[in-house]
Amino acid sequence: MKVGVLALQGDVPEHLAALGAVLHGDDIVPVRTPEDLAEAEALFMPGGESTTIARLLVQGGLWNPIADRLKSGMPTLATCAGLILLSHELVPSLSGLDPPTFDVLNVQVRRNDYGSQGESFEAPIRVEGLIGGPFPGVFIRSPRIHSVGEGVSPFAWHGSEVVGVRSGMIWGLCFHPELSGDPRIHRMFLESAHQALKVPISGATGPRRRRR
Ligand code: GLN
C-alpha cells in the first residue's frame, strides 16, 4: 500500500519518520502535487498551521484533487491542523483567522482552543482498541472538538473529552501521534486502511512486498 504524507508545511518529517517505523520507505510518498497524490492509496495530513496549509493546497492545485479523493473514501489520518481542515465547521477562533475546510468529518472544531504554544502539554490518552495502555498524547496549539455530529464516532479521549474521531476511514486527532515516538496509532490506522482497501501493507505491519 502506497501511503502519502501531505508535505506542504508542518511536521512532515516527523510523520515520515513515524511511518518509516512501520512501512518500507518506497511505500511512503511525500505529497506536494496532484501527481504525487494520484500515487497514494491512503493519506496522512500533518499538524502545522492550518491557514498556511489551506493556502498552499489551493495555490498548488491540490485542494480539489484532495477533496475528490476524500469524498471517494481515501483512508486519511489527520492530526491537529489536519483535523481542522477536515472538519464540517469551525467555531470562530480568537484570531478570527480560520481556513476553509473539506467538510468530510461531521464535527465542530475550534482552532488553538487548548491555548498558545506555551500551554502545550502531554497527557495520557485512552484510545479505543489500542493494545498496550494509554497513548502519550502531545498537544500543541491544538484544536478542541466542540461537538460530534451524526456519522462520526469518538475513539480517543483525554479524561472525558473527545480528542479523536473517525467516520469510516477518515480519522481526525487533536494531538500528534507523530511526535510521541509511539507508532501504535500509525500502525492501527494502516491496519484498518489495509482492511478497507484490501491491499497489502509492507514493512512491520504486513508481508514484505516483492521487489521487481
Ligand atoms: N493551531 C494550529 C492551526 O490552527 C494547529 C496546531 C498544530 O497542528 N499543532 O492550524
What is the residue-level pLDDT of the chain in tens, covering all 212 positions?
A: 999 999 999 999 999 999 999 999 899 999 999 999 999 999 999 999 999 999 999 999 999 999 999 999 999 999 999 999 999 999 999 988 999 999 999 999 999 999 888 899 999 999 999 999 999 999 999 999 999 999 999 999 999 999 999 999 999 999 999 999 999 999 999 999 999 998 766 665 443 444 43
pLDDT for residue 211: 42
What atom in ligand 1 is closest to the CA of residue 53? Answer: 10
- Based on the number of CB atoms within 10 Å of its own CB, is 63 exposed (0-12), middle (13-18) or buried (19 or more)? middle
CA distance 191 to 204: 11
CA of 1 to the centre of ligand 1 (A): 28
Phi, psi of 162 (to 5 degrees): -75, 125
Give residues (CB < 6 A) around ligand 1. 47-50, 80-81, 84, 111-112, 140-141
Strands (E), 55-104: 76-79, 87-90
Catalytic residues: 80, 176, 178
Q: Tell whether domain 3-197 is in CATH 3.40.50.880.
A: yes
Domain ranges in the chain are 3-197
50, 81 contact by CB (below 8 A) = yes
Which of 112, 173, 180 most suits a substitution to test ligand 1, by most atoms within 8 Å of the C-beta? Answer: 112
